[in-house]
Amino acid sequence: MGVARYVKNEKDEVLDVILQSGIHIKPVYTQRDLEEVGFDPEKDLALPGQYPYTRGIHPLGYRSREWTTRQYTGFGTPKETNERFKLMISHGQTGLNVAFDLPTQMGLDSDDPLAEGEVGRVGMAIDSLRDFEIAFEGIPLDRIGVGLTINAVASIMLAMFQATAEKYGFRKDRISATPQNDILKEMIGRGAWIFPVEPSVRLIGDTIEYAMKELPRANPVSVCGYHIRESGCSPDQEIAYAFQIANTYIEEVLRRGYGIDEFVRGFTFNLNVFGNLWEQVAKFRAARKLWAVNLKERYGAKDPRSLFLRGIFGGGGYGMTKAQPENNIIRGAYYALAAALGGAQTTALCSFDEAYTIPTPRAALLSLRTFQILMEEIGMRDTVDPLAGSYFIETLTKQMEEKILEEMKRVDEMGGMIKAVETGYVQREVARQAYEFEKGVQKGELIKVGVNKYTEGEEMEVELHEYRPESAEEQIARLREVKRERDGRKVAQTLKDLEGAARQKRNVMPYLLECCKAYATVGEMTKVFKEVYGEFKEPTIF
Amino acid sequence: MEKRIRILVAKPGLDGHDRGAKVVAQALRDAGMEVIYTGLHQTVDQIVSTAIQEDVDVIGLSIMSGAHLPICEKLMKKMKEKGIEDVLVVVGGVIPKKDIPALQRLGIEGIFPGGTPFEQSIRWIQEHVKARA
């Protein structure tokens, strides 16, 4: 949920404020605090668009370009999702962020026994290229960037996306896809993993390498501090783990003999926004600087564009509560403010009903309006990085930097992120913090309005998105139809070629593209990978 | 000395959001129970067979995906088939109020949506395990 601990005396005066990252906030900040943390305006700040980019990667911030709004959307069948996409675009949304159902995320076809009850429930079901064609029918893919929220089988979905775009006549150098494609965070916090660590990271390397050559506008990886924070870690750890994960993927591609400046521009980040406002703003500013420093100093990047921390700052899921759900509308507005003050280039917001279910159209629209009000009524486009130079914010940004570097160092000392995940260190750390946090809320030490304070008042009912079991039947019927109509020999051949490529550790992307074009299913392609790679085993963490 | 309650904390189905399951597992352990955590992506069959092997008093399911009704129905059927209906079943996660009667009809009384105070679910489990003993 993300609130600070407040130490008070009996007169309700605040004696101390302790942020989740462990930083104490003082009652008053002055020039002396800046001196104490060693703040150097030239080195730490510079101008927006200048190294180290603390103030933003564009010289004119939102003046030159408003943020991209990309609500997480998708449910039921591809047709239902396509209708919702079009609705959101007609309301002024400028990008898409596709939600897939759990069977698709786990590489299972809709008719798999393990998929029962889950088809189309938390996102749209995808079995074959036919589903992608339906989902993106009539969407201007040369203009609308598409986030594909999928990880273990991201390589398959990127191939699907390219095959669909080409089928609809869009050139592959004009389309922009951002598959999430961050498997290490799934192993830490979200759980949609399939294959063991090593081949999973290799698959990510394949997508990055392929995108670099074939899909120049794609962002092949979106590293997610977001879900690690949702799982319990503090904001400083969120950035530290995200950067160490990114470093792991970078090293996978460097090992293949490419130069850092050739591919790192395709990296984006997905960061969370819930919590203490100041801590969030400081986090984004510190993260932008540290990413630039990391690229320059650790990897010797030279191209300024390689140093940009780009990504989506948004969501805020864990901050949303089931109690008094309409309060989430207000929370969302403040979270969006944190994202804007932190200089987000792309944003999204969990809808107020999301603690219950996937958003209704009304709730999704409210989130979009929240962004539009901020940008077009409240003044977020007026000037770049408006909090720069504040004694408090600059001190906090420096302190945040220190915290992030400390945790990054801890991971380095463990031998890097793969080790830290394989041994369960990060998972244990996240689970421990989640437990401490929950105890704090239950004891009333951490205040959550409507949950453990101001709980009285009328109970509010939310209108719920209803799951339609019929959409599963439709989906399975279409899968059968595709299997009947496709050229079975071609499918078998493309899958065999895919297996050969996987075994010989060649880049699998061109082979996946052929499989997709032959209407091989997600389940069939995943099965090939499972046979070659095996499956991930969770470390025991308690 | 009173026998320690053995509880299997299970994540059925494909959903991997395990923050809640892990938080509750730690709270149950701090309350003196023996907690066995299944890890992710468990089928109902796997959960039932682990429950038998580990000889647990309670199965606690954590479900966030919305698929609680079909999963619980399957579990209760399987438990009956394997003759372990005496094991107490509790469910936590994203459980809308309107689904509570349907879960109760399946024979599940311990329903703890996200945010339920630890104390409340722990006391409920302790009392009900005792009543069944």
| Mean pLDDT, rounded, for A121-126 | 92
Q: Do A192 and B16 touch (CB under 8 A)?
A: yes
- DSSP, collapsed to helix, strand or coil, labels residue A6 as strand
Which of B16, B22, B115 is the closest to A431 by Cβ? B22
**Which residues neighbour A528 within 8 Å (Cβ) at sequence distance 6 or greater?**
A495, A498, A499, A502
Which residues in B lie closer than 8 A to residue A321 (C-beta atoms)? 115
Distance from CA of A408 to the nearest CA of B (A): 23
DSSP state of A455: -
CB atoms under 10 Å from CB of A342, counted, come to 24
Distance from CA of B30 to the nearest CA of A (A): 11
Minimal-distance CA residue of chain B relative to A318: B19
- Over the stretch A400-457, which tens digit does the pLDDT of each residue have? 999 999 999 999 999 999 999 999 999 999 999 999 999 999 999 999 999 999 998 7
Note whether residue B65 is domain-resident.
yes
When divided into structural domains, chain A yields a total of: 1
Note whether residue A148 is domain-resident.
yes
What ranges in B31-117 are assigned the alpha helix state H?
44-53, 68-81, 100-105
Domain CATH number, residue B102: 3.40.50.280
Note whether residue B128 is domain-resident.
yes
Query: pLDDT higher for A73 or B4?
Result: B4
Which residues in A lie closer than 8 A to residue B35 (C-beta atoms)? 542
Note whether residue A166 is domain-resident.
yes
Note whether residue A502 is domain-resident.
no
d(CA A429, CA A436): 11
Flag whether pLDDT at A309 surpasses 60. Answer: yes
Q: How many CB pairs under 8 A join A and B?
A: 92
Q: pTM of the prediction?
A: 0.94
- Which DSSP string do the residues of A246-274 spell out, in sequence order? HHHHHHHHHTTT--HHHHGGGEEEEEE--
Which residues in B lie closer than 8 A to residue A228 (C-beta atoms)? none
Locus of tokens 């209760």: B76
Q: Do A322 and B114 touch (CB under 8 A)?
A: yes
Q: Which two tokens stand for residue A110?
A: 């809709």
When divided into structural domains, chain B yields a total of: 1
- Over the stretch A475-489, which tens digit does the pLDDT of each residue have? 999 999 999 999 999
Residue numbers of the domain that contains B92: 6-132
pLDDT above 90 covers what percent of chain A? 88
Which of B11, B25, B70 is the closest to A116 by Cβ? B70
pLDDT of residue A2: 55
Confidence of residue B1 (pLDDT cuts 50, 70, 90): low
Q: Do B13 and A117 touch (CB under 8 A)?
A: yes
d(CA A285, CA A20): 17
Q: Do B14 and A106 touch (CB under 8 A)?
A: yes
CB atoms under 10 Å from CB of B8, counted, come to 24
| Mean pLDDT, rounded, for B93-101 | 91
Q: Which two tokens stand for residue A364?
A: 């999704």
Which of A191, A355, A451 is the closest to B18 by Cβ? A191
Q: Which two tokens stand for residue A212?
A: 């670099």
Which of A434, A464, A541 is the closest to B23 by Cβ? A434
Contact predicate B56/B6, CB 8 Å = yes
Q: Do B19 and A122 touch (CB under 8 A)?
A: no
Minimal-distance CA residue of chain A relative to B114: A322
Note whether residue B70 is domain-resident.
yes
d(CA A519, CA A192): 24
Alpha-carbon separation of residue A444 from A2, A285, B117 (angstroms): 13, 31, 11
Residue numbers of the domain that contains A292: 5-443
Q: Which two tokens stand for residue A224?
A: 């997610």
- Beta strands A267-272; A311-314: pairing state: parallel
pLDDT of residue B96: 86
Contact predicate B123/A332, CB 8 Å = no
Query: pLDDT higher for A347 or A458?
Result: A347
Which of B17, B29, B71 is the closest to A117 by Cβ? B71
Note whether residue A195 is domain-resident.
yes
Distance from CA of B86 to the nearest CA of A (A): 26
Note whether residue B1 is domain-resident.
no
Flag whether pLDDT at B133 surpasses 80. Answer: no
Whole-number CA gyration radius for chain A: 23
Q: How far apart are the first and last CA of chain B?
A: 15
| Mean pLDDT, rounded, for A124-147 | 96
Domain CATH number, residue A414: 3.20.20.240
Q: Do B70 and A193 touch (CB under 8 A)?
A: no
pLDDT of residue A1: 47
CB atoms under 10 Å from CB of A488, counted, come to 12
Contact predicate A507/A211, CB 8 Å = no
Tell me: cis bond preceding A386? Omega within 30 of 0 counts.
no
Minimal-distance CA residue of chain B relative to A462: B96
Contact predicate A158/A177, CB 8 Å = yes
